[in-house]
Chain A
Amino acid sequence: TQLLEQSPQFLSIQEGENLTVYCNSSSVFSSLQWYRQEPGEGPVLLVTVVTGGEVKKLKRLTFQFGDARKDSSLHITAAQPGDTGLYLCAGSNYGGSQGNLIFGKGTKLSVKP
């Protein structure tokens, strides 16, 4: 059974601080996606990483896929209250049925003004 472990589970920081969220597995994934979810809403796709070692930037967010495609990280620079939410990583695999994304349990981020 493939699992994705996210850490930390909860994170409460002040506006302007930097933070990193980790997503780890013992399994290899063909791609990994990061989502942000706000209360009562569905997850919103932030980025998809595909190549081992890949780094993608989205404004103040930096996403990295591990060389072995088993882990990923999300770094936020100068966090703002609007970054508050549940951050989820999800992995998918090659071939066969594609619909099954394996999700981590998420990191609940709170950014205080």
Chain B
Amino acid sequence: KAGVTQTPRYLIKTRGQQVTLSCSPISGHRSVSWYQQTPGQGLQFLFEYFSETQRNKGNFPGRFSGRQFSNSRSEMNVSTLELGDSALYLCASSLGGTSGIDEQFFGPGTRLTVL
């Protein structure tokens, strides 16, 4: 079974630009969550999509947005990039249950550098 894939793996942008990252979940998984990882803050939750609907959202500004398609693939977009947006962006997929034991599987991440 193929794992979670993310594209691109590396990205360099300049301040003010926008960027779109893509995530393909494990086949059969309906939930996709996005996280930002930085050395100072660790892994922070951005948002979760389930069946094309945003089901949960973290504490990030509106410049961070996402969507999910009918095949469960997801994209996240960051507009008006700032230097502080430089980070490893991770997506994770899961079956999407609400029992509290829904295991998440992570992709390799997209390393975004903002100059």
A101 — which chain B residues lie within 8 A by C-beta?
Answer: 33, 35, 43, 45, 92, 104
Q: How far is the CA of A45 from the CA of B107 in the complex (A)?
A: 11
B: contact size bracket: 35 or more
Contact A100 to B58, CB < 8 A, known contacts A42-B106, A45-B105, A94-B100: yes
Cβ of A80 within 8 Å of any chain B Cβ, yes or no, is no
Cβ of A105 within 8 Å of any chain B Cβ, yes or no, is yes
A: contact size bracket: 20 to 34
| A13 CB to nearest chain B CB (Å) | 22
Q: Which residues of chain B have a CB within 8 Å of any CB of chain A?
A: 4, 6, 31-33, 35, 42-45, 47-50, 55-56, 58, 88, 90, 92, 94, 96-109, 111
16 contacts between A and B (CB under 8 A): A40-B88, A41-B108, A42-B6, A43-B106, A92-B102, A93-B100, A96-B56, A97-B55, A98-B98, A98-B99, A99-B49, A99-B92, A99-B104, A100-B58, A101-B104, A106-B42
Q: Which residues of chain A have a CB within 8 Å of any CB of chain B?
A: 29-31, 33, 35, 40-45, 48, 50, 88, 90, 92-106
